[in-house]
Structure 1
């Protein structure tokens, strides 16, 4: 059993009564501090809010853990009894079809009900579509015809009604509170057309590739290229001669520099990676694609994840274990800048006041309905305040929503276009977006969007005509890098923060960032990639599948390795905002959790007045001199409850 020191390392300093309760849970369930911490994280995510470690919350956490434990024990008990039960059923009389797909239309035996009985049943039933309560019996079974055992039917969900949501409008977190929010709408606000200039920084047409056509050779080449390009960048960053780089899998009696990708040999998807499971994989060019186990005992602290490209100073005296002495800092990537003339144009555009942005991420409704009350409330605020831009990322019509899975929603046959889910989008989403007329709306799809023709990540844009979207809606790829005036935004709807949190292997120590959000976001920024994790987690780990098309993962790189000014990474982790590596990084949280309303983000950015005044530089004739945008000094960001 773990010691109080182990608990303190995972949970931090705690009151004595809380520490006693945690130690009690360790004894009851015979687990260690790390497993208990994972259970606490899962509990916080399930509750959909940031919960403090006090005696009251620990008590409810214990109750929840006990319920989960009892459910697991009942499931094990049933699985142990299942063979005997099946043996008895073989001798029993047939009671109908195996999965109740015919809803009792099949007679119990040929003698008890003849063809006439079946005919009467058919006449009574007609050719109607199965009701939700009938199909739900099929959906929750273990049969291949329905969703897996983790699926929940709408009847099993107890959601908080939207009108009873906790603390509506409450500001959960503020970045740069010294910057004042202007009175919105701005006096004489002319609309976004004269204030916002849109520019895409990626080649959107490249995202129109055919998904599910991945070639293994092309995918492996992408992984190799990332290792080799990282080695070149590391050599330039640290000024390392060629002869100091070696194959990590060969015998290395002296300390050398090795470059490779972190991999893990954990076989069961339900188990998390740990220090003992980590290996370093070399590229095929420099190390023939070999793998060697890592010995991290010499490091005072570390933080790795599968797919992470790293450079070590290390030894391998026996050729079977790499003794890591130190980790080389990753290459430095620079932020965006603009010409002084462009900054002056930005100043003129914002003469009426600050640049204002709303940011929200799906799901947009709880699991027991398709009313989209949170989205309606958000659009009400947007129409009232008239911001310059609105970022909305998917999923909108979520493939993981129970009612979408069952098809449990009405279809208006009078306006039926032949596309059921697209009609649902137009009814619930497009109708709301059409109310926004003075703001630019930027839509980012998700791989969980039922209306997206593109099923893999990186992901192509929505189809405007099919969804009936108006001209002020800009359709973005997933991920995407754009510029609104001089401000560069990077955005992705893939929940990379949560996925990294599930796969990360770390040990606290010197040089290791203790703030979880800061550390996870820095993985993305320092790798110059929107999804550096490989492979993506399985559905059994995070509750849904993340289809990554490895062959096209170069599309998820930061264009030109330039850091954005603002990075938007929506996640089921609690909404927050921090400056990470010089980048204003925002997780707006989800608009709705499975059972209650969630959060969104609001950002206001001051014009570059101070930058122009402080620099006071006359640009050279070629106008190649650039000024840094310094959005981290000019922006105020709030995380708000809807």
Structure 2
């Protein structure tokens, strides 16, 4: 596929113009970006600039060029003014195996003991310490003597130039098949039954106490679990599997984890820099570089568990001849009695669920007016049976919080002294105005100042400590729960932004990126299959030439020893999976699972964001939308992807 076709595939038919193709191709060369990466930056640009529809025209392309240039200037401004040129220029070279000598990350580890060991890195000093600059991470604490911020009224958000009407439907899924539900009716007594489908006690672990043994056990178990699934699905024998790190002339099957072949290539993966990490059973945990020259279609990412067929003929690379597709998990089912009970409890009426995702305040203001107006619409117009609210509610990455410029709230006699008090005194009174008949589910974010458990997987909020009424329920992150018969899977870490794919093949490029990532998520059977997790950081001006200091802003913050809590419960895929992302909102059906990104509630500069509204028809056998699975006792697939309508609406 040539560059022009790739641009049209990613950017759509509007890009099929010579001047547009030429401009985009020039940007890829100028900024050393792939077409896929350029498209992701275009989506970020469109979302940040609050465009209704960022058309591919010369004006928007000029603005896009300025946006890319501004990003470069910001990164340059954050970089230290002086560098140790000796250390910056020198990069570690990949060491080839010589007589089975070990290399970085255990690639091509010697199978037999040897007396002579080649030095792996010429930058290592004789005392075993590295000459390269050490990395230090720090956070900037708020000053205890910081002056009070300005008055709240003077910090109103800058109004958007593109004032979008509240309640406008931007996109819909299954809009032709279903009407929007009217919502809750206090007089008929209908109420959705909420049932958590996870063990909340398992989330009460203490963070920052990981041991390497526990981490290794979890990572090894992930490979072994999927290895058994692959063996059963393809009806393979145990003898068909082998160690890919051992030189052999015959082909074998293997299951392992995709990793970079060196630390220097971790941030810039490509087809030539991938390696396979084996399990203890499959290869004593060793790693082997991958040769993908014989494979036409690939989509790999760091942390992905893959099943491969090939051979290691030269003890340098495992030459892949086939990539086995991992089987998708089963779908949930219910008995006839359970479905009839659900239908009767709803009087045959459809259910209505609204989903929002924080932040709920702009980055330049503590104005709650949008949240206040939204709560009023929830009570008077929308009237959902259930409102699911994702954090962050008070975001510690908010620029005003980071600088300590908390405004004065004129309607409060006693000003809040802590960030928790800001929620209790300012935001909680607004949330308490939600009708008590509407059930509210709160799911935290690792960026929440309210959470005492800033790691993923993440424990739930303490409802009583936040002074919230009983119609509020606090669930963990991630969590699986039932609303009547429908299974919801919710995770509040941005997998759609953090997953960096290495792709090849025309069919792969033709696929929507959100669909590809959703399929990876289902095949891996985990809400966050990327490892190591994504991280946002910025380089601080260094005080010395030898040290480079980074400030941690946010990230996935994985607690690897407890990543088993992020796997699909009981091995089946939920009917609906909700994962908020900074990328544009969407609702799609992937492998009979409804995937939803509700979008941000409020944009950084105060522009109105979006929320997702779901209408689910009551289960009815006569409608033909349920699929019967016959057996000793017949059960029915929920087929929510046929019975649900999803609308993405402005707040």
Q: TM-score normalised to the size of structure 1?
A: 0.81
Does residue 608 (structure 1) correspond to residue 625 (structure 2)? The answer is: no
CA 1:44/1:405 → structure 2, altered by over 3 Å: closer, same or farther? Answer: same
Does residue 449 (structure 1) correspond to residue 448 (structure 2)? The answer is: yes
Which among 566, 572, 591 is matched to residue 601 of structure 2?
A: 591
Deviation at 1:339, TM superposition (A): 0.9
Deviation at 1:349, TM superposition (A): 1.5
Measure, in 1, the Cα distance between the counterparts of 2:75 and 2:328: 48
Greater relative CO, 1 or 2 (CA 8 Å, sep 6+): 2
Aligned to 2:147: 130
Aligned to 2:495: 496
Deviation at 1:17, TM superposition (A): 1.5
Measure, in 1, the Cα distance between the counterparts of 2:576 and 2:478: 14
Aligned to 1:423: 421
Indicate if the aligned counterparts of 1:576 and 1:586 stay in contact, CA closer than 8 A. Answer: yes
Deviation at 1:474, TM superposition (A): 1.0
Indicate if the aligned counterparts of 2:192 and 2:385 stay in contact, CA closer than 8 A. Answer: yes
Deviation at 1:163, TM superposition (A): 9.8
CA 1:353/1:403 → structure 2, altered by over 3 Å: closer, same or farther? Answer: same
Which among 39, 63, 67 is matched to residue 64 of structure 1?
A: 67
Indicate if the aligned counterparts of 2:258 and 2:305 stay in contact, CA closer than 8 A. Answer: yes
State the Cα deviation string for residues 117-136 of structure 1 (Å, max 9, x = none): xxxxxxxxxx9643559xxx
Which among 511, 527, 530 is matched to residue 527 of structure 2?
A: 530
Superposition pairs for residues 29-68 of structure 1, below 5 Å?
33=35, 36-37=38-39, 39-47=41-49, 51-68=54-71
Measure, in 2, the Cα distance between the counterparts of 1:226 and 1:601: 33
Measure, in 2, the Cα distance between the counterparts of 1:467 and 1:55: 50
Measure, in 2, the Cα distance between the counterparts of 1:15 and 1:440: 50
State the Cα deviation string for residues 183-221 of structure 1 (Å, max 9, x = none): 635566446xx4211111100111011111111100110
Give 1 or 2 for the bigger CA radius of gyration: 1
Aligned to 1:90: none
Aligned to 1:473: 472
Measure, in 2, the Cα distance between the counterparts of 1:268 and 1:616: 51
Measure, in 1, the Cα distance between the counterparts of 2:3 and 2:176: 44
Indicate if the aligned counterparts of 2:482 and 2:488 stay in contact, CA closer than 8 A. Answer: yes
Measure, in 2, the Cα distance between the counterparts of 1:556 and 1:616: 29
Deviation at 1:31, TM superposition (A): 6.2
Aligned to 2:582: 572
The worse-fitting range, judged by mean Cα deviation, of 538-547 and 283-292 is 538-547
Indicate if the aligned counterparts of 1:492 and 1:568 stay in contact, CA closer than 8 A. Answer: yes
CA 1:602/1:488 → structure 2, altered by over 3 Å: closer, same or farther? Answer: same
Aligned to 2:387: 390
Does residue 184 (structure 1) correspond to residue 191 (structure 2)? The answer is: no
CA 1:35/1:410 → structure 2, altered by over 3 Å: closer, same or farther? Answer: closer
Indicate if the aligned counterparts of 1:360 and 1:391 stay in contact, CA closer than 8 A. Answer: yes
SS for the counterpart of 1:464 is coil
Indicate if the aligned counterparts of 2:246 and 2:312 stay in contact, CA closer than 8 A. Answer: yes
Aligned to 2:557: 547
Which among 315, 318, 325 is matched to residue 319 of structure 1?
A: 315
Measure, in 2, the Cα distance between the counterparts of 1:270 and 1:315: 25
SS for the counterpart of 2:257 is strand
SS for the counterpart of 1:539 is strand
Which among 276, 301, 307 is matched to residue 303 of structure 2?
A: 307
Consecutive unaligned residues in structure 2, runs of 5 or more = 86-140, 539-551
CA 1:47/1:349 → structure 2, altered by over 3 Å: closer, same or farther? Answer: same
SS for the counterpart of 1:544 is strand
Does residue 400 (structure 1) correspond to residue 408 (structure 2)? The answer is: no
Which among 621, 627, 648 is matched to residue 639 of structure 1?
A: 648
Measure, in 1, the Cα distance between the counterparts of 2:457 and 2:37: 33
Aligned to 1:559: 569
Superposition pairs for residues 337-416 of structure 1, below 5 Å?
337-351=333-347, 353-384=349-380, 385-410=382-407
Does residue 507 (structure 1) correspond to residue 517 (structure 2)? The answer is: no
Deviation at 1:506, TM superposition (A): 1.1
CA 1:5/1:386 → structure 2, altered by over 3 Å: closer, same or farther? Answer: closer
Measure, in 2, the Cα distance between the counterparts of 1:467 and 1:576: 31
Indicate if the aligned counterparts of 1:300 and 1:510 stay in contact, CA closer than 8 A. Answer: no
Deviation at 1:567, TM superposition (A): 0.6
Which among 195, 213, 220 is matched to residue 217 of structure 1?
A: 213
Aligned to 2:164: 166
Consecutive unaligned residues in structure 1, runs of 5 or more = 83-100, 104-126, 134-154
SS for the counterpart of 2:69 is helix
Deviation at 1:513, TM superposition (A): 6.2
Deviation at 1:428, TM superposition (A): 3.2
Measure, in 1, the Cα distance between the counterparts of 2:40 and 2:82: 26
CA RMSD for the aligned pairs? Answer: 3.4
SS for the counterpart of 1:560 is helix
Deviation at 1:546, TM superposition (A): 2.3
Aligned to 1:116: none
CA 1:48/1:212 → structure 2, altered by over 3 Å: closer, same or farther? Answer: farther
From the two aligned structures, give the one with the greater helix fraction: 1
CA 1:614/1:556 → structure 2, altered by over 3 Å: closer, same or farther? Answer: closer
CA 1:53/1:266 → structure 2, altered by over 3 Å: closer, same or farther? Answer: farther
Indicate if the aligned counterparts of 1:302 and 1:512 stay in contact, CA closer than 8 A. Answer: no
Deviation at 1:496, TM superposition (A): 1.3
Measure, in 2, the Cα distance between the counterparts of 1:165 and 1:365: 17
Deviation at 1:81, TM superposition (A): 13
Deviation at 1:74, TM superposition (A): 6.4
Residues matched between the structures, number: 571
Measure, in 2, the Cα distance between the counterparts of 1:31 and 1:567: 31
CA 1:399/1:626 → structure 2, altered by over 3 Å: closer, same or farther? Answer: same
CA 1:417/1:551 → structure 2, altered by over 3 Å: closer, same or farther? Answer: farther
Q: TM-score normalised to the size of structure 2?
A: 0.80
Measure, in 2, the Cα distance between the counterparts of 1:382 and 1:199: 23
Aligned to 2:23: 21
Aligned to 1:282: 278
SS for the counterpart of 1:600 is strand
Deviation at 1:52, TM superposition (A): 3.6
State the Cα deviation string for residues 422-469 of structure 1 (Å, max 9, x = none): 211123332122112221100000110001011111011101111001
Indicate if the aligned counterparts of 2:444 and 2:476 stay in contact, CA closer than 8 A. Answer: yes
Indicate if the aligned counterparts of 2:619 and 2:626 stay in contact, CA closer than 8 A. Answer: no
Measure, in 2, the Cα distance between the counterparts of 1:223 and 1:525: 18
Measure, in 1, the Cα distance between the counterparts of 2:249 and 2:157: 61
Indicate if the aligned counterparts of 2:585 and 2:597 stay in contact, CA closer than 8 A. Answer: yes
